[in-house]
Structures are given as structure tokens and as C-alpha cells.
Amino acid sequence: MFGVEILLLTILIITVTIYKKNWVPVYPPFYSTGKLVKIGHRGAPSLAHENTLDSFRKAIDTGMDGIELDVQFSADKKLVIYHDWSVECDSGRIELIENLSWSEIQKVSLNGNKQNKIPLFTDVLDVLNKKNIINIEIKSAHIINTNIEKNILELIKIYGFENNCVISSFNPFIIRRIKKNNPKILTAFLWSKNNPQFIINTPLWAWICRPDGFHADIVYLDKQLINWVRRKNMSVLTFTVITQKQLIKAQLLGVDGVFIDDPYLN
């Protein structure tokens, strides 16, 4: 295993050297408001079950600047809105989302409440308007191309959200393919020390995907990391701000925005 880590680190260093040229991040114009941008993390989970239509509606109704959601493929390649890799079916068994068909996912009642259903990506786009910032986190652990990026980009274009969305992911290969398919779409690399997707967990993956923004875990965000991000001319948001203490920390660090669970947190 140690040999594999050395090999991956070598590949990463070589790739960084190759790709660090011609990287010019674009600062989202909708962050230039002179105030801290507040994005509803999976909607407004303090008021309704996360990543449900009710949660997104409440985030919008309470005046959030935008919403964040998690998109992944079902077994039949439907774009579903759900954060975890697996879900508890009504039968009690635990199944991976990517192994369930859309018809099976529709039967799932989150937390045993029949009102809490997993929506499609198109369902959420239907309830948003062009004044809302939408941060789309693509969940995929695959390095190879599954076409999830292509499908999402097509819907963003159809619904007219190209100018007010940011696509983010913990997977740098996802961001890289987004940039290749549509360089005009704003992107952000997600980073935390918790639950890394790859053996090597480092902010330096940003050199590979060359995003416009960097979204970091509030627990591990510090001035040194902020300075590194700013030197690369990336925008910076932080997740997930739950307490007033964390909100003050984010403000003192000078981030552009926060992902929050509670719309009333001040």
C-alpha cells in the first residue's frame, strides 16, 4: 500500500507541474455583493428534511442567497438529489443509491415520513428562479467518465441556470471534466480532512482540476489555507456553518460565503 501512495504522489506532482499553467480562476459575479453570501446547505435542514423540495423552498422563502444540493446517478442514470452514498429502503435494507432504479428510489420515505421523498434534479430546478445561486455538488467516486457531468450540464443549459450556478465536487476528475465540457461554467473544489475519496487527501488536487473556487470544511479552515487559496485567485466558501462561533470564524477569515443549515443563524 505504501508503494501505491508513493506512485500516486509522484503522478500528482508531475500532473501539477503540467497543469499549473494557464489556470485563471473566474470570480463569480454573484458573490460581489459586499456582504457574506449565505447558501442553504441542502436547502434549510433546520426547518425541513435535507435535500427535499420542502427544504429548498424554505431556504428560498427565508431569504437565502442560494441553495446547495447533492446530485448522483441512480442505477438507470436518473439524476437524483441525495447526499449519502446509501439509503435505507422501506423494507429496512441498506442499498447504494447507484444500485437502485428511480422507481425503487421513489418508494423510499426518508426517516419514515412519507412526505420526505428523494427528488430528481429537474424537480429542484422547477422550484428555483434565476435570482437564486445554485451550488451543485456532484457525488461520484468514479475516476472514469460516467457522463453524469454531461447530463447535468445539459439540464443547466435547458433550464437557463448557466449564469448563476457553481458545480462543485470532492472528486477533482469531475471538476476537470466539467471544465473540459463547458469552460464557462463556474466550478469549485471541495476539501475536508474527513472521509477522503482518494488515498492522497490534499488541497493540491486543485492544481489538477483548476477550479474557480475552493470550498473548505470550516473545522479545518485557517488563515494559512485562506492565504493559499487567495494567492491562486480563487473564491472561497466554507461548510457547514452550524453555530454562531463558526459563523464568526468564517467572517474573521474573510470568506466569500458560507453553507448553513439554519437560515436564521446570524
Residue 147 lies in a domain: yes
Residue 231 lies in a domain: yes
What CATH number does residue 245 fall under? 3.20.20.190
Query: From first to last of its 266 residues, what are the pLDDT tens digits of the chain?
Result: 556 666 666 666 666 666 556 799 999 999 987 899 999 999 999 999 999 999 999 999 999 999 999 999 999 999 999 999 999 887 778 999 999 999 999 999 888 778 899 999 999 999 998 889 999 999 998 888 999 999 999 999 999 999 999 999 999 999 999 999 999 999 999 999 987 777 788 999 999 899 999 999 999 999 999 999 999 999 999 999 999 999 999 999 999 999 999 999 99
**Long-range contacts, 22-25 (Cβ 8 Å, 24+):** 23/207, 23/210, 23/232, 24/233, 25/210, 25/211, 25/212, 25/213, 25/232, 25/233, 25/234, 25/235
CA 230 – CA 20 distance, rounded (Å):
15
Residue 10 lies in a domain: no
| Number of domains within the chain | 1
Residue 30 lies in a domain: no
> What phi and psi, each to the nearest 5 degrees, are found at residue 83?
-85, -55
What domain range is 139 assigned to? 37-68+132-260
237 forms beta bridges with 215, 257
Residue 199 lies in a domain: yes
Q: Answer yes or no: pTM beyond 0.85.
A: yes
CA 186 – CA 162 distance, rounded (Å):
9
Residue 25 lies in a domain: no
Residue 160 lies in a domain: yes
Residue 119 lies in a domain: no
